[in-house]
Amino acid sequence: MASVIRGNVALQPSYFTSSVYVKALREDITTLVHNFHEQYKEDNTKPFALFKTLWNAQGWKWMHFKVFDSRTRETFLNVTVRLFLERMVKTQAPFTRTVALFALYTFFNTQPSGSAPPLRGLSHIPIPIDQYTSLIALPSTLTTPYLTPLQPFASYVVSALVNAQAFHLLPSSDFGALNPRDVPREIFVEEGLIDSNQPQRKGHQSKRDKVIKARTALDAVGRWLEQTPSTSDVRNTSVQYQTRKTRLLQEIGPESTSLREVSQGVVDRLREAQETMEGEVEVWPGLARLQAASESAGGMLRLLQ
């Protein structure tokens, strides 16, 4: 009987660009940020040592051994560093950006070497020029009392990556220079969740789902209108608010930094809450307005002028 050689099972590159891997890794990064934040609140004297302990305890040190096939491994490495980088853009909270920076640095510098056979490594981190500029400026944004302990470590990590020429600069994010342009590229849809009466492309809502969603939104608007107070009630409430706000600003002084610090703390907590609920709620555009108000004299009390 002729012998049969059993083939090795290997993940395809498309697995790591699909929603199966991308969504799971995004959730893991959010968990890493949340857990580090909880421990940082208790002890922030050695933040990077604390981060390394958490990194090892949560099993991140085994990430490099998820795949060994060279072709698939290249995609795995590129997508993973890309998901770390997406948590370092300006729209993310400074704390989140710093944790993602630590993760990127640790992941890049713990690639296995000297193995036999050798594993394919990532020699440079592809990064759009606008994200690179934002990353370089990150340490200078860690100026609040809560974030100051992170600043020297963030500065060292950025300098180490730049001096090692770890980055491969790409055109601005607006040009979509990363490959693939967007992740996830492939959307996994569980069997049975597609409307059997309506052909549906993966990742797209059926007409029936859109109708249901529209009706639900319309009902919600109707209930909101029923509960909304009359114009006169709103006007009276606004006058009371303006009177009390003016009195408070006179007491503490309009140029007091206390309101700015308190307002910035509120913004940071809202960002962390939004990151924790990522994937469950849509991005709240009001955060940008709160951020702008927190940086002005009077802090968030300046929202209603």
Q: Is 203 left (phi over 0), alpha (psi -120 to 50) or beta?
A: left
For residue 203, give the amino acid letter.
G
How would residue 254 be classed by pLDDT, with cut points 50, 70 and 90?
A: low
The pLDDT score that the predictor gives to residue 47 is: 97
Scored b (16 or more CB within 10 A) or e, 26-63 reads bebbbebbeebbeebeeeeeebbebbeebbeeeebeeb
Angle formed by the axes of helices 70-85 and 19-42, to 10°?
50
Under 8 Å between Cβ of 281 and 247: no
With a cut of 70, say whether residue 257 has pLDDT above it.
no
- pTM for the model stands at 0.63
The pLDDT score that the predictor gives to residue 292 is: 73
With a cut of 80, say whether residue 27 has pLDDT above it.
yes
Scored b (16 or more CB within 10 A) or e, 201-223 reads eeeeebeeeeeeeeeeeeeeeee
> Among 4-18, 59-73, 117-131, 291-305, whose mean pLDDT is lowest?
291-305
Cα distance between residue 219 and residue 264, in whole Å: 35
Cα distance between residue 121 and residue 82, in whole Å: 15
The pLDDT score that the predictor gives to residue 232 is: 54
With a cut of 90, say whether residue 213 has pLDDT above it.
no
Torsion over CA: 299, 300, 303, 305 (sign): negative
The predicted model gives 151-162 an average pLDDT of 98
Under 8 Å between Cβ of 81 and 166: no
Kindly report, residue by residue over 110-131, the tens digit of the pLDDT.
999 877 778 899 999 999 999 9
The pLDDT score that the predictor gives to residue 203 is: 55
The predicted model gives 149-160 an average pLDDT of 98
The pLDDT score that the predictor gives to residue 2 is: 45
The predicted model gives 215-242 an average pLDDT of 64
The predicted model gives 294-304 an average pLDDT of 64
pLDDT, averaged across the chain: 81
Kindly report, residue by residue over 161-185, the tens digit of the pLDDT.
999 999 999 999 999 999 999 999 9
Greatest mean pLDDT range, 75-84, 247-256, 261-270: 75-84
Kindly report, residue by residue over 186-203, the tens digit of the pLDDT.
988 765 444 445 455 555
> Among 22-31, 117-126, 156-165, whose mean pLDDT is lowest?
117-126
Which of helix, strand or coil describes residue 87? helix
With a cut of 90, say whether residue 277 has pLDDT above it.
no
End-to-end CA distance of the chain: 88
Cα distance between residue 291 and residue 299, in whole Å: 9
Cα distance between residue 222 and residue 228, in whole Å: 10
